[in-house]
Structure 1
Amino acid sequence: MIGTLCRHLDRFRRDSRGAVLVEMTLITPLMLVLSAGVFEFGNMIHNKLLMEAGLSDAARFAARCNSQLYTQAGLAAINCADIATNIAVFGKAAATVTDVPRVSGWQTSDVTVTIAAPASCHPAVVAGVTQYRSTTAQVCIVRADGNYSYTGVGMLSFIGIGPITLTGSHEERLIRF
């Protein structure tokens, strides 16, 4: 009886049929979770890059925008910060209700564009260290800041991580005409 049992166990141990099925059953869940994690991370980085591109566009526009030129030309003054905010979120100056933001769920209330007034410009040299290369003692900058609450596509909530706040900013030197 023991000899028969040993022969059956010996035959079972040498038989490799079905080993691939067992290995695949063990590896598949791990590979699916890793693949979903890579997709989630890639999507988050993509949204962050879209957000930073919008902030860069907004700061670049605001640095060159001059509403005083409009009033000197007899036109109505424009709000450069509001237009720059629309450029950051929607990619265009005048946004309508039907426009789709660069990043799904990103709103103009999530973006702040600050145009430095001449009284609040930064010194070019602080304590002997050159902060900004300039021919003037004061350097004015435009700063675009934004944040976005990334909720993900499902993987984050699956593993119990709540929304991640993505933040970005961009500075440009203010150009006065």
Structure 2
Amino acid sequence: MTLITPLMLILSAGVFEFGNLIHDKLLMEAGLSDGARYAARCNSQMYTDAGLAAIDCAAIAANIAVFGKPTATQTDVPRIANWQASNVTVTSTTCYDAVQSGITKYRSTTAQVCTVRVSGTYLYPDVGMLSFIGIGPITLRGYHDERLLRF
């Protein structure tokens, strides 16, 4: 019992910490997916053409990724503790040929298909008991590409 108990405690702590890490990664990926979906459909030019104030699609997409809503206040709680909109990057349109080397890569009525990428990083703050064996802070990274569907 004396030999097995410390080993079991360390293994249990590692499993618990790994579970938390995966949970945070999944929350981050869900947020990035939501932000990319919004960014792919956002069209600030439409607001300008209608005589309204232009909107910042990238900032709104970053807020959606982190907070789950377009605007954030000081009291809003992010999806993951200490994750900030400044850790999310919205990359403008990247276009690809729909047909490459005679093979249809993307179904489209146009010659090119454009995507928007929302990427983010999150510094996982504490790895608990695993820090005893030299595993320090871990940076989680993720991204989501969404096909551009501006109207």
Alignment TM-score, normalising by the size of structure 1:
0.80
Q: Considering only CA atoms, is the larger Rg found in Structure 1 or Structure 2?
A: 1
Q: Within 5 A, what are the aligned runs for 1:19-38?
A: 24-38=1-15
Residue 56 (1) aligns with residue 33 (2): yes
SS at structure 2 position matched to 1:71: helix
Q: Is the 8 A contact 2:117 2:146 kept in 1?
A: yes
What is the aligned-residue RMSD (CA, Å)?
1.4
Report the 3-state secondary structure (helix = DSSP H, G, I; strand = E; otherwise coil) of the residue aligned with 2:2.
helix
Which one-letter code corresponds to 1:78 in the other structure?
I
Residue 63 of structure 1 aligns with an amino acid whose one-letter code is: A
What is the TM-score with the length of structure 2 in the denominator? 0.93
Q: Which has the higher contact order (CA 8 A, sep 6+)?
A: 2
TM-superposed CA distance for 1:153, in Å, is 4.3
Flag structure 1 segments of 5+ consecutive residues without an equivalent.
Answer: 1-23
- Corresponding residue number in structure 2 for 1:176: 150
TM-superposed CA distance for 1:58, in Å, is: 0.1
- Deviation string for 1:89-148 (max 9, x for gaps)? 1111001122221111211221111231xxx52211222333322121111111111111
Alignment counterpart, residue 125 of structure 1, candidates 95, 99, 102:
99
- Note the 1:156-171 alignment, pairs <5 A: 156-171=130-145
Aligned counterparts, 1:1-177, within 5 A: 24-116=1-93, 121-177=95-151
Aligned residue-pair number:
151
Q: Decide which structure has greater helix share.
A: 1
